[in-house]
Amino acid sequence: MTVSPIPRLDPPALAVGGIYDKVGMGHIWYQEFGLSIQKAIEDKLTAHFSPERLVVINESHLHAGHHHVHEGREEQFEANGETHFRVRIVSKAFEGMSRVERHRAVNTLLADELKGGVHALAIEPSALGEPTRW
């Protein structure tokens, strides 16, 4: 009898069709059960990066009334939406990674949210012991 290894929670495994979808925690699950996109972001970042500090800020209200084109038609962002977020995260997982690699890791992890309605994601990743502006 062979034992399958426990899958690593790398960002591609968390995207559509990945581990989260298989256990019912993909973006659709959050919509169907009434949990927010912010909660989905917090859960995914926590599960993957085990952060020492994590702050996810919904900045959508700052963009209320701004125009954008969605599926060929002009729309406005709502003040109570979940379209713009700032992620501040400190994790040992970022040690040895460049700034670009850190951003790619977070963007890949949150690919479902970015495809499903998140318009903007500001990322402030730091490794343990690095100075932060917050």
Domain ranges of the chain: 11-126
The CATH class of 11-126 is: alpha beta
pTM beyond 0.75: no
Rg (CA), the chain: 16
CA dihedral 84, 54, 111, 77 (to 10 degrees): -10
The pLDDT tens digits of the residues spanning 12-63 come to 333 344 434 433 444 454 455 566 889 999 999 999 999 999 999 988 867 5
Residues 6+ apart with CB under 8 A from 33: none
Grouping H, G, I as helix, E, B as strand and the rest as coil, residue 72 is coil
Give pLDDT tens digits for 67-82: 555 567 665 555 557 8
